Structure 1
Amino acid sequence: MTHRRFRIPCHLSLLVWLICAGLPLPVMAQQPAVVSGSKGGAAVITARACRVQPGDAADIPSPERGPLLKLLVEQGSVVQQGDVLAELDQDEALLALKLAEQELQAAQQKQTSSRLGQVAAAALAEAERQSEQAALDAQQAQLSAADTSGVRLAAAKEAEAAGALELAEASRRASPRSVSEREYLALTSQRDQAVIATQQAKHESELAALKARSMTKVAEQQLAAVARLRLLMETAEGTERAELAQLDVMKTTVEIARQKVQRRRLVAPFAGIVTERRKAAGEWLEPGEPVLRLIQTSRLMIDGVVSIEESQRLQAGQTARVRRVAAAAAAAAANSDVVVARLIFVSPEVDALNDAVRVRAEVPQPPAWLRPGAQVLLEIVP
């Protein structure tokens, strides 16, 4: 009888050998589990490690140094943007504001009552008119001084009278009875009058020249006065500009004082709920020291992570669903405890610790059960 040898497959022999040797059996590599569903045939990506975050959260700090006068809100108070939450002592800031306003008012009154520029302008205009008239008078005097016609006319009459007298004398020498004594005396008188007229004409010409020089000096003095008044007007204008600049500085000082009064108040930067009061009335505050904590609950954020492969299918604007962790199984069959969200951020970076990508979804009007800090499920429909 012929015995056939039974051949054991190689992989079974290896398995038997490992069992006999007491070594651990090899474990097949498991594929990562992905919680997915379908919506219209599209796979749903479930983000991991999801936590609810407030839309905005801020520790409201003290903007200035000083004692906390009063807190105007309680823990749990609902506030609107711009509401005053607390006030620091404002006495010193109010006094500084009042002083700045008084100084500004006094400077404005001084600037309004100041007429230096107007007076200088009026004086300059009058001096310019006088200078113009003086220049005209000087020019007229110079023309009069340059006119020698009167002297020439008197000299001509003197020469005529002297010539007539010489002819009479010559005639009398030739014939004593040719010119009567009366005629001779008349000719002599005419010659003497002509000499006096010539002297008077020369004198008047000299006076006209002196007057012309005098009027020229007056015109020069008027020009100098105009120059001085122009400098005075420029100085007045510079003073007015300096006063206006000082007014601007004082207005800025008043505005700074107002801002300092406003900075003695803590104002809500956004609408939300006060969750903590970290200081009490009367405590001393330093700039930047937290006084209140405010969170926004009218808009919530869901932060989670997905794998690198899943992130490649995601982009901002995609629809998402948020579920309670405890109610996830029951909500799978019903829509209770489910709220619609919108994916607003897919990180371009990969976390080096867990090879995951951060994502964030927004819930604009969250239900009452969705609170900041809670753990939820975030399902994203690519």
Structure 2
Amino acid sequence: MTRPFRFFVRGLARRAFPALGSAAAVLLTVWTTMSATWSAEPIEVESVLLTPIQEVEVPAQEAGTLKRLAVAEGAMVKAGDLLAQIDDTDAQLEKTRAEIELDNARRNASNDIKVRVAVKAAEVAAAELQRGLESQKRYPKSVSETEIDRLRLTSDHAKLQVEQAKYDFETAQLALRVQQNQVQQAARQLERRRITAPVSGRVVQLFRQQGEWIEPGQAIARILRLDRLKAIGALDAASLDGDPTGRPVTLKLESPPGGQAESQGRVTFVHSEVNAVNGQVDFWAEIENPALQLRPGLRASLTILAKPAAND
């Protein structure tokens, strides 16, 4: 940052925070002069708070009686596991009906008998008309004009019957697609009565009991994701020599008796604003917790590791 620009930033801070005066100017100047280079030294954070990285209240999607609870509080679940089942008797019957209608639609869609019959009838009518015309040409008074008109009408009608049969056949194809969609919708209605875990984690609370009536949107269970946690803390802005986002971290948790558990992670967010009162910047890091030894609500110390030296 050039010297004139540094003075401009400091003056801007004084105008923005007149009550704090030069202190705000210094803090803002420090923050804006951070380069893209990481600090050469590790940054020690005495206390960070562990919080869930993901917390989900799982709702019901359909109304009905809660037929079964498939989990208990404290159970570990994987994404997609069944949590609860809403009564699906009517939905099962609807799916069965849709499948029967699909079988019927499939039979109709594959049945081209009417088309073949209409084509044959049109061929016969056309042949009769042709014979009548040839006979009239050979023996002028053998076939009357009225009979020729009747034969022509019959032939034209037969051709239209072919078109109608083809139209009906194509309509049956579309009806099959509609019925296939009906079966899919019926299956979807069944699935919506299965309340499943959207994420892997621990069921920490159940809001409903078996046998209760459930409305759409009502929460059934609360799940905490525990295999990865968020460590929230604050950094002194003056101690930063750049944006630490993306830097690896080591979290240390005191564990009795006299032990210490370590977990690894990475800085994922650093707030863009400096607290003008204490000169600190809020940040958080995502911490791996595959063994689930860390729990939300605990406090621990954290070290933001230094950037490896670049090769010249």
Instruction: Report TM bin, short chain.
Output: 0.7 to 0.9
| TM-aligned CA deviation for residue 351 of structure 1 | 6.6
The one-letter code matched in structure 2 to 1:62 is A
Counterparts of 2:131 and 2:45 in 1: how far apart (Å)?
98
Q: Is the 8 A contact 1:60 1:291 kept in 2?
A: yes
Change (3 A) 1:343 1:137: farther
Measured in 2, the distance between the counterparts of 1:352 and 1:111 equals 74
For residue 237 of structure 1, the aligned residue among 166, 170, 173 is 166
CA distance in 1, matches of 2:239, 2:183: 59
Offset at residue 312 of structure 1 (A): 6.1
CA contact (8 A) 2:66 2:211 kept: yes
CA contact (8 A) 1:135 1:216 kept: no
Report if the CA contact (8 A) 1:44-1:380 is conserved: yes
Aligned position for 1:160: none
Deviation of 1:105 after TM superposition, in Å, equals: 2.5
Aligned partner of 1:380 among 300, 304, 308: 304
What is residue 284 of structure 2 aligned with on the other side? 360
- Of residues 193, 202, 224, the one that matches 1:295 is 224
Alignment of 1:23-42 (within 5 A): 42=40
Change (3 A) 1:262 1:302: same
TM-score (norm 1): 0.61
Shift of 1:241: 2.4
SS at match of 2:141: helix
Moved over 6 A (4+): 351-355
Residue 83 (1) aligns with residue 14 (2): no
Return the match for 1:65 from 63, 66, 86.
Answer: 63
In the alignment, what sits opposite 2:118? 120
Map of 1:1-382 to 2, 5 A cutoff?
42-47=40-45, 50-112=48-110, 115-139=113-137, 141=138, 208-211=139-142, 214=143, 220-309=149-238, 313-324=242-253, 336-348=260-272, 356-382=280-306
Q: What amino acid is aligned across from residue 267 of structure 2 in structure 1?
A: L
SS in structure 2 opposite 1:43? coil
Offset, 1:65 = 0.8
Call closer, same or farther: CA 1:219–1:48 in 2, change over 3 Å: farther
After superposition, the Cα gap between the structure-2 partners of 1:377 and 1:246, relative to the gap in structure 1 and judged at 3 Å, is same
What do residues 103-128 of structure 1 show as CA deviations (whole Å, max 9, x unaligned)? Answer: 22233344445622221122123323
> Structure 1 residues 229 and 44, CA, compared in 2 at 3 Å: closer, same or farther?
same
Per-residue CA deviations over 1:149-202 (Å, capped at 9, x if unaligned) read xxxxxxxxxxxxxxxxxxxxxxxxxxxxxxxxxxxxxxxxxxxxxxxxxxxxxx
- 1:361 maps to amino acid: A
Question: Normalising to structure 2: TM-score of the pair?
Answer: 0.73
Overall identity of the aligned pairs, in %: 26
Q: Name the SS of the counterpart of 2:98 in structure 1.
A: helix
CA distance in 1: counterparts of 2:277 and 2:158, whole angstroms: 84
Aligned-pair CA distance for 1:86: 0.9
Q: Distance in 1 between matches of 2:119 and 2:270?
A: 72
Counterpart CA distance in 2 for 1:268 and 1:341 is 26
- Residues 88, 225 of structure 1: CA spacing in aligned structure 2 closer, same or farther, 3 A cutoff? same
Contact 1:47 1:304 in 2 (8 A): yes
Structure whose residues are more often strand by fraction:
2
Instruction: Give the 3 Å change call, closer, same or farther, for CA 122–65 of structure 1 in structure 2.
Output: same
* Paired residues of 1:339 and 1:366 also in contact (CA < 8 A): no
Q: 1:119 to 1:59 in 2, by over 3 A?
A: same
Q: Are residues 308 and 121 of structure 1, via their aligned partners in 2, closer, same or farther at CA, if it must alter by over 3 Å?
A: farther
2:103 counterpart SS class? helix
Larger Rg: 1
Q: Equivalents in 1 of 2:94, 2:82: separation in Å?
A: 22
- Secondary structure of 1:227's aligned partner: helix
Unaligned runs of 5+ in 2: 1-22, 28-38, 307-312
- Structure with greater helix share of residues: 1
Q: Is the 8 A contact 1:48 1:305 kept in 2?
A: no
Aligned partner of 2:193: which letter?
A: R
Tell me how many residue pairs correspond in the alignment: 270
Q: Secondary structure at the match of 1:377?
A: strand
Q: How far does the alpha carbon of each residue in 1:267-313 deviate from its partner, in whole angstroms, 9 at most, with x for none?
A: 11222211111211111111111111112212222223334455662
CA distance in 2, matches of 1:353, 1:94: 63
Alignment RMSD: 3.3
Stretch of structure 1 that moved more, 260-269 or 297-306: 297-306
The structure-2 alpha-carbon separation of the partners of 1:223 and 1:318, relative to structure 1 and needing over 3 Å to count, comes to: same
What amino acid is aligned across from residue 268 of structure 1 in structure 2? A
Which residue type is aligned with residue 247 of structure 1? L
Whole-angstrom CA distance in 2 between matches of 1:58 and 1:113: 51
Q: Is the 8 A contact 1:55 1:298 kept in 2?
A: no
Q: 1:315: how far off?
A: 4.0
Taking the aligned partners of 1:128 and 1:47, their CA distance within structure 2 comes to 96
